[in-house]
Amino acid sequence: MAEYHHRTPAEQAAHRRGNMFAVGVVGLALATLAFAIAILVILSMDLMPSGECLFTTASHYGLAVCIISFLCSIIMVFALCRPPVAIGGVAAFGTIWWLGYAITVTVYNRTSSDAGLPNQHDRTSVIGLSWACFAGMLLIFALASHLYRAKWEPEEMGRGPMDEYGAYAEFKARAEGARVDGGNV
């Protein structure tokens, strides 16, 4: 925390902007998580009522994608104490998963409609939510890319409880090759 006060006003302003982008990452990750939970509920309660799938095989794939997205969202929220590359990597993975699923449900919707399966409105909801999840992950990836290009470091966020004992300063000093005297640099 002491390092923050040794920055120039321009560096402090840039870091505050980076923190706002990080808050955006958390908001988008939580929104994507909420959309994935909504898809899980629609798939399990409305499109797979008695074990039979009313969305051809896309429902089982959807359950897997939603669970993976749930994990990605949680990882991204907790990855804010890591470099932006970690967030970007998870977001890229999630973006690819959601793109594949959104395309799949869009294509399978036509097949299900042509077969005369009921619950068209539920399938349409799943399609819209899946494209929203894709857009959310894509925006998170863009924010993480911006944070990476801006060389943002989450030093005030989540260094952990041991930081008051100088653990972070000791780690940083060792990484930079400096001498550490009792945890103080």
Dist. CA 61–CA 14, nearest whole Å? 42
Same domain as 58, residue 42: yes
Q: Is residue 16 part of a domain?
A: yes
Q: Is residue 1 part of a domain?
A: no
Q: Is residue 2 part of a domain?
A: no
Q: pLDDT per residue over 121-161, tens digit each? A: 888 898 999 999 999 999 999 988 888 887 777 655 444 44
Q: pLDDT per residue over 86-117, tens digit each? A: 888 999 999 999 999 899 888 888 877 777 77
Same domain as 124, residue 182: no
pLDDT value for 123: 85
Same domain as 92, residue 36: yes
Dist. CA 47–CA 68, nearest whole Å? 20
Phi and psi at residue 8, to the nearest 5°: -70, 160
Q: Is residue 27 part of a domain?
A: yes
Number of Cβ within a 10 Å radius of residue 124:
13
pLDDT value for 37: 92
Full residue range of the structural domain in which residue 120 is found = 7-154
Same domain as 94, residue 48: yes
Same domain as 146, residue 170: no
Same domain as 84, residue 165: no
